[in-house]
Amino acid sequence: MSESDERKDSSFVFKITVIGDGGVGKTSLIKKYTKGSFKKEYIKTLGAQFSKYDEKIEGSAVKLFFWDIAGQSEFSFMRPTFYKGSKAAIIVFSHAPNEIDKSFNHIYDWHDDIKKYCGDIPIVLFGNKIDLVDDSSMDNDKVEEIFNKRDFLGYYKTSAKTGSGVFSAFEAIIKNLYEKYKDQ
């Protein structure tokens, strides 16, 4: 068996932690990516939810475990335990007009928290609920500023409802992890 055949048979396992304020659409984004579905009703995540998803990249089996961490402050004491072993993180905020200020302003807190417990892992930023706003009314300068200050791997405008940007956003972090670990 050649080295390339061996690599194709190898399996990768990545834990990706998804964090952000409550109600920004973390669970909906994961379900849209893993199942292609969207449910309008909001059900608060209690503690954490786990989703497993299998994918193939360049012939290699990739097992993804998405850890959907509750955003409400009453669950903050549990987060360090849930973060453990994360290979990457996604911070989600909402572009919805009644949610943007609060959820956007907490990006720094979420970023500091995940870095404190996981170190220098790749982190992407998802600006969700773009279906609820006109693109011309979005303050892209504010997002660009935080993106550059905190050295995120990428920033993606997403809508769990319509699916806009969801696939490319998740694929960016997954491909980054695969490239990082494939030769190890």
CA distance 76 to 183: 36
Return the pLDDT at 36. 83
Identity at 43, one-letter amino acid code: I
* 3-state class (DSSP) for residue 144: helix
The CATH architecture that domain 3-181 belongs to is: 3-Layer(aba) Sandwich (3.40)
| Domain ranges for the chain | 3-181
**What's residue 144's pLDDT?**
87
**pLDDT in 10s for each residue of the chain, 184 residues:** 344 444 444 589 999 999 999 999 999 999 999 988 776 665 656 667 889 999 999 999 999 999 998 888 877 878 888 999 999 999 999 999 888 889 999 999 999 999 999 999 999 999 999 999 987 777 788 888 898 899 899 999 999 999 999 999 999 999 999 999 988 7
- Starting at the edge strand that comes first in sequence, how are the strands of the sheet with 154-157 ordered? 48-57, 60-69, 11-19, 88-94, 123-128, 154-157
DSSP category for residue 58 = T
Q: How far is the C-alpha of 41 from the C-alpha of 48, rounded, in Å?
A: 18
Residue 91 CA to residue 40 CA, distance in Å, equals 21
Chain center to CA of 44:
17
Angle at 104 between CA 145 and CA 79, to 5 degrees: 115
Determine the pLDDT at residue 2. 42
- For tokens 């097992």, what's the residue? 63
User: Residue length, the chain?
Assistant: 184
